[in-house]
Amino acid sequence: RRLEPLPVHRLDQYTSGVFCIATNPAARHHLIEQLKAHTMKREYVAYVQGRSRTPKGTWRQWLQLSKDELRQQVVPETQFRAAGVEAQEAITHYEVIAEYPLAGGKDFVTKLRLRLETGRKHQIRVQAAHAGLPLIGDRTYNPAYRGSGLANAPIDFPRQALHAEVLSLEHPDRPGSQ
């Protein structure tokens, strides 16, 4: 039988881990509906620069994609509603798993578990940076990793430290199962 791999969702470039591909259009439709209904469970592990003020919480912001579609930015709700700016709500639940002090004790790397409720382009990366916790190795949203000289980077890391660890869904051919 000839398989037809059809992407259901994607991972950002340089993010590792699991993602979902359907083998036929009907299965893809079923899986995309799970994403829309927020019943597909997606959990990530990230290593971020800095320390979280709270051990767990929720990031809920409105994100606006740049005109070139390469970056997101957080937009205050009042601003986009008043100006008619196109933005999408992004919701991420986070929990601190561990904190690692760096040499000198001034800076920390924090390991976070993140659960997506929505799935926007660069969602975790832009929300973490907005919270003051940019991802280790993120050359888009962490200023310490921009440019050719990484003198301010706390850890030399070749990509953003983000891994899709859990993907839980209802199988299209077996409703009610996960």
- Catalytic machinery residues: 12
Residue 118 CB burial class (10 angstroms; 0-12, 13-18, ≥19): middle
Three-state DSSP class for residue 127: helix
Instruction: State how beta strands 162-168 and 16-17 pair.
Output: parallel
User: Which residues on neighbouring strands pair with residue 21, listed in sequence order?
Assistant: 7
Neighbours of 154 (CB within 10 A): 18
